[in-house]
């Protein structure tokens, strides 16, 4: 194995992890832009996606596709219930109290998952085989292609939704100024609810497509949620290209750091990046003059 193929492997591994971070980051961005809060239960949607799919697949013996569809639906319902019961009743609360509520909700969801499904780790079978594919001396699994494909699809759909549909434009209007939006007849409450729906769906989708690789258990949401958070911070809370680049950058740095420095510092690298960004460029790396939020 020569050095170039080793480098290619680090880059590929990094990018595939990065795509996952970006997807999770999206969920943060969408809710933040609609409500101004950071939803720390985002990682729990990721966990729910994976765990619910395994639940439907293994315990109810459903085929893979309906199991995935049901899992996303149910995770989205959890997102709706969460918004209705925990966020909406406190209309005039400060963002800080709402953020603390989301932390509470994440602990609750994790605990509930532990009670329902136990503490074991579960593996989802890969969507299409386990045989590695060779690209430029590096290898990836078919599952990685699924991750790339679905991520790109979600990114495009997202862009199209926010730029070309009335509802998407209305959500962006809420993000700019919710009071003004309500004056022109946009139902802000519905938009907030919708932001929870979208991010729960994207989060659970992310949890499902990575479960065959990383496996899943009741507590996977913590670390993945934090990594997604770092991605969205690098991307400056945008739900567009910024977060995608943020996620990919994070994945790459982690993988190269683990390869060339030491794997023991993998998580440390991620959190050092988070701190640096927060200190030096809290508005995100890619934010120029006026970037669109939402």
Partner 1 sequence: MFKSIWRIFFALVITLLMAGSVIAAPPPIKIGALFSVSGPAAPLGEPERNTAQMLVNEINKAGGIKGRQLELIVIDTQGDATKAVQGVNKLIKDDKVVAIIGPSTTGESMAILNIVEKAEIPLITCAAGSKITDPVKKWIFKTAQNDILAVARIFEYLKKQKINKIALLTVSDGFGSSGREQLVLQSKEAGFQIISDETYGPKDTDMTAQLTKIRGGEAQAIICWGTNPGPAIVARNVKQLGIKLPLFMSHGVSSKKFIELAGDVAEGIILPSGRVIVANQMSNKEPQKKKLLSYINSYSKLYNVEGDHFGGHAWDAMMLLKGAIEKGGDNPAAIRDQLEKTKKFAGIGGTFSYSPQDHAGLTKDAFVLVQVKNQAWTLVK
Residue ranges binding partner 1 (CB under 8 A): 1, 3, 6, 9-10, 13, 17, 114, 119-123, 125, 130, 132, 134, 139-141, 210, 213-215, 217, 220, 223-224, 255, 258-259, 262-264, 266-267
> Is 26 in contact with 239 (CB distance < 8 Å)?
yes
Torsion of CA 254, 255, 261, 262, to 10 degrees: 90
Q: How far is the CB of 203 from partner 1 (least distance, A)?
A: 16
Helices (H) and strands (E) in the chain, counts: 11, 2
- The end-to-end CA distance of the chain, in Å, is 44
CA distance linking residue 9 with residue 136, whole number of Å: 9
In the complex with partner 1, which residue's Cβ is closer, 121 or 177?
Answer: 121
In the complex with partner 1, which residue's Cβ is closer, 72 or 252?
Answer: 252
* Degrees to nearest 5, angle at CA 237 with 235 and 241: 45
In the complex with partner 1, which residue's Cβ is closer, 134 or 179?
Answer: 134
Q: How far is the CB of 64 from partner 1 (least distance, A)?
A: 15
Q: How far is the CB of 193 from partner 1 (least distance, A)?
A: 32
The residue among 265, 243, 3, 21 whose CA lies nearest residue 138 is 3
Q: How far is the CB of 262 from partner 1 (least distance, A)?
A: 8
CA distance linking residue 210 with residue 267, whole number of Å: 18
Q: How far is the CB of 6 from partner 1 (least distance, A)?
A: 5
The residue among 32, 15, 56 whose CA lies nearest residue 204 is 56
In the complex with partner 1, which residue's Cβ is closer, 158 or 255?
Answer: 255
In the complex with partner 1, which residue's Cβ is closer, 36 or 126?
Answer: 126
Q: How far is the CB of 31 from partner 1 (least distance, A)?
A: 24
In the complex with partner 1, which residue's Cβ is closer, 156 or 261?
Answer: 261
**DSSP run (H or E) holding 121:** none
**DSSP run (H or E) holding 134:** strand 133-135
Q: Which two tokens stand for residue 238?
A: 């945008």
């Amino acid at each position: 194995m020569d050095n170039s193929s080793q480098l290619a492997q680090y880059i590929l591994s990094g990018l595939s992890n990065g795509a996952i971070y970006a997807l999770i980051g999206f969920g943060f961005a969408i809710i933040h832009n609609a409500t101004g809060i950071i939803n720390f239960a985002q990682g729990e949607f990721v966990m729910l996606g994976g765990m619910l799919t395994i639940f439907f697949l293994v315990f109810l013996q459903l085929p893979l596709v309906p199991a995935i569809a049901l899992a996303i639906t149910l995770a989205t319902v959890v997102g709706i219930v969460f918004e209705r019961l925990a966020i909406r009743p406190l209309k005039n609360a400060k963002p800080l109290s709402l953020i603390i509520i989301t932390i509470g909700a994440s602990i609750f969801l994790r605990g509930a998952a532990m009670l329902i499904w136990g503490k074991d780790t579960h593996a989802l079978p890969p969507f299409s085989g386990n045989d590695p594919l060779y690209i430029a001396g590096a290898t990836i699994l078919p599952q990685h292609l699924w991750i790339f494909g679905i991520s790109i699809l979600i990114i495009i759909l997202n862009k199209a939704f926010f730029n070309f549909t009335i509802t998407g434009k209305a959500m962006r209007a809420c993000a700019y100024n919710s009071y003004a939006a309500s004056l022109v007849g946009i139902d802000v409450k519905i938009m907030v609810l919708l932001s929870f729906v979208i991010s729960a769906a994207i989060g659970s989708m992310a949890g499902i497509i990575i479960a065959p690789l990383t496996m899943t258990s009741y507590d996977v949401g913590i670390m993945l949620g934090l990594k997604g958070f770092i991605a969205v911070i690098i991307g400056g809370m945008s739900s567009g290209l910024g977060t995608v680049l943020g996620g990919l950058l994070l994945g790459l740095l982690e993988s190269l750091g683990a390869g060339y420095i030491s794997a023991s510092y993998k998580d440390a690298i991620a959190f050092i990046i988070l701190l640096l960004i927060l200190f030096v460029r809290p508005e995100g790396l890619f934010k120029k003059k006026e970037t669109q939020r939402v």
